[in-house]
Amino acid sequence: MLSMSASNERKIIKQYQPLIRALIPYEQHNKLLEGLNKFAGRVPSPVRKIIRDEVIRLTSLTDAPVDNSAFAQFPVFKFSHFGVQMCLDKVGTRILHKESALYQQRYTVGVFETLTSSDFYQEHIKKENYKKVVDAFTVETQSLQDIHFGEDIAITPNFPVSSPEFERGRNCSVSSLGYKTMTLESKRPAKVGAGDEFNFHFPDVPGLPKGLTINYVASAMKFNQQTEKYETHFKMAASVGPKMTQIIEKYINLASFQQPLQRQLESERTMQDLERDRILDNSPWVPVFINRTPKGLRPQMALFTKNNETLSGGRQGLNIATRKRLFPRLMTEIHRYKEVYIISGTMSSKQGDYYLTATLRELESSDLLAPVIHIMNKNGSLRCLQCRLAGVEAEDKEKAFSIHDLTLLDYPDLADIDKVIFYKEVSSSLADLVITEKRAIPAVAEDFVDDLNSFAMDIVREEGLDNRVESRFLLDRPGAVKTGLLTAAPVTIKDISVRGLRLVFEQQPKKVDKEIKVTIPELKVKNQKYEVVDYNPNTREMRLKLPTKRDTIASGIGQFVQKNAAYFKNRDLALLQRNTHRFLWELAMRHHPSASILCTTNRYLLNRLKTVYQTSDCDDLYPFSQVDNVAPMHGFFADREAQKPKSELLSAIFSGAVTHTSVFHCVRNSDSKLVFLPEPSFRFGALRNNVKQQLHEHKVTLCVTRIEVSRCASALTPLTKKRLAQLSRIDKPMYDRFNVMQSSYTHVLFLTSESVLHNSIMNASLRPYKQVEKTARRAEA
């Protein structure tokens, strides 16, 4: 066997340092050979011998004194440990205890060398600092799904119970009714003992059989300081049969969304509802609700808030997401991948300009992605929407109907909702991207050419955003619009108000004048002149208003509505839209598509990150992951190479200097090592070419997370009063506390993965314009 030089031995020891430390416990238990066979079976024999000798050397005992004052952080303390004189600072003492545990609480050569090694000392400090940073940026997580209380669920019913043997037969308020428990309130302590059995009479309430009586056994009595009342706790008697138990369980499950829960449970539920409402109210995502019809899946309604309508392009963005020609392809792709990017804009050809709308994957597979983005960026027409799919279960709809006390017969369209597509504008992620070399443009498929024909959609807004000043009533009666001296076009009068109406033509009118004459036999209106406010040729829908000097007609319509108040009561569109809005809101808030961080006021910057909300299958935090209901946020916000937990990004976010940004990481496929990519270097530097080459060779995975900031403009959301109403009935102090708490929320941060989009951009050899301005001009020339 050839001898190996000392320098080579040092290199081998440094290379196999993790293996050497893993073998130390085996040597402590006289099982070094077993450890070598387990971990170093394929290591060459000379290297294996060096490793074995090094393990034996490190585990041998020593009595050499230790002094790390040369590189220690002062103060330094002198003490005796293992009978050896030591001079160590606090960091050195922590290293001593940690390394001694590795060597079975023995003072060995390995312990001595780690204590006297400046490199090991600095590495230990670096790891401690990193751990402090990770801990400081750890945020509690919460699921968007409803809290499942299981067997602990209990409601606070709005009825009393009574028993002849308990409190002389007086009616007693029920503060908590569970599956097998009950708690009664009284001003004075009840004269009962543990184990006493009582037969309680329940009143006749919907959901419970008439004349219901159940035996309960007293278990405890407590004084509630919050309510200043005595609470007597009962358990269901053993003699109660399973049929009676099922009746109570069924009633509690049905009433749990219409009546408040037990105080503590209701406060937890209310907190979750308020925070989910705030996320949806400030979200840039627009939910589009898809109904299952005899003709297949069709988009029917979209929920607009003040925030998402502004950030996602309003009606124009909605039209792009619901193009009739694109929609079947969109549904096929989004069912498969759960996420789709829609790219839309103007293209040029020899025949003239045309509109193109297609998905990212369609353009990529047709080798059109790079030229399409380049041309659309050049002419300024590029629009890109990110779409995500969420399924709607029957249970979700049942909850929404129950919470807002709606019936299926009154709102049949809501029961047909099958899925929700969320979309938001991400055009800024493709801004200024160009190709660096001249290339031929492949033929554009006919399916990609957009005819600008979209599905007719019902826009649902909260009451505060509805700009109509008059009450509107659903009519849905036939009418006619005069088109000539003796001709009229049939129409359907959809709704009316005192000074306006909405109608739909059965066929496309030949022309649309500024004023038209309308006949409504139902209202005894004949050839009444109306001014045209708006006409949509796609839906053949027209909105009209009376001229200013038509008070007689307006009062006549108003009197007709008053005479038929019973008929129009349930056809008030403001009421119908309010209930529809609340129903859609319940579905959307439970399926919000991206991770969201609620931020509150706090004197400490990092403590402003309160809670992360996300669905169970959300991947927006990748390459980081949730562990034990906490999520590490250091990879997105912490300053790099900082010795202490700091965040310039969060400071800029809360000061208003930053409204959106992107964070880039690479994951090495061989060992899952994570590498942070500085944005300027990745977008405009040589690092971009290196990452592109590694992606082409499948050595790394590019992870891009977009952070969008939404400042809470109002302390209240559209459903705040509704959420707090239940709590106010049973716990006024908690209600007041929650009410005040709403003003402490300042921002909502939305974290969305755009990895698919940016991987496609890299594969298409697109670069930001700043880096390749001169090269691009030469290529075009």
- Cα distance between residue 146 and residue 406, in whole Å: 20
pLDDT of residue 462: 82
pTM for the full predicted model? 0.85
Within 10 angstroms of residue 727's Cβ, the number of other Cβ atoms is 25
From the list 610, 593, 616, the residue with the least C-alpha distance to 754 is 593
pLDDT of residue 776: 41
- At position 291, the amino acid (one-letter code) is N
From the list 639, 685, 659, 651, the residue with the least C-alpha distance to 749 is 659
State the Cα torsion 57-62-65-70 to the nearest 10°. Answer: 10
Within 10 angstroms of residue 338's Cβ, the number of other Cβ atoms is 14
Three-class SS of residue 10?
helix
pLDDT of residue 468: 59
pLDDT tens digits along 299-328: 999 999 999 999 988 889 999 999 999 999
Distance of CA 272 to the CA centre of its chain: 13
From the list 557, 433, 538, 546, the residue with the least C-alpha distance to 500 is 546
Whether the CB-CB separation of 208 and 174 falls below 8 Å is answered with no
pLDDT of residue 780: 47
Where do the H-state alpha helices sit in 291-426? 306-311, 314-321, 327-337, 360-365, 369-379, 394-403, 412-415
- Angstrom distances, CA of residue 292 to CA of 216, 392, 416, 418: 48, 11, 6, 6
pLDDT of residue 46: 87
pLDDT of residue 6: 74
Residues of the chain scoring pLDDT < 50: 1-2, 771-781
Contact partners, residue 746, CB within 8 Å, separation at least 6:
599, 600, 601, 608, 654, 711, 712
Helix (H) or strand (E) holding 560: helix 551-563
Where do the H-state alpha helices sit in 411-526? 412-415
pLDDT of residue 408: 87
What is the DSSP secondary structure assignment for residue 550, as one 8-state letter?
A: -
pLDDT tens digits along 357-381: 999 999 999 999 999 999 999 999 9
pLDDT tens digits along 568-615: 666 777 788 889 999 999 999 999 999 999 999 999 999 999 999 999
pLDDT of residue 191: 86
pLDDT of residue 602: 93
> Left, alpha or beta for 83 (phi > 0: left; psi -120 to 50: alpha)?
left
pLDDT of residue 773: 45
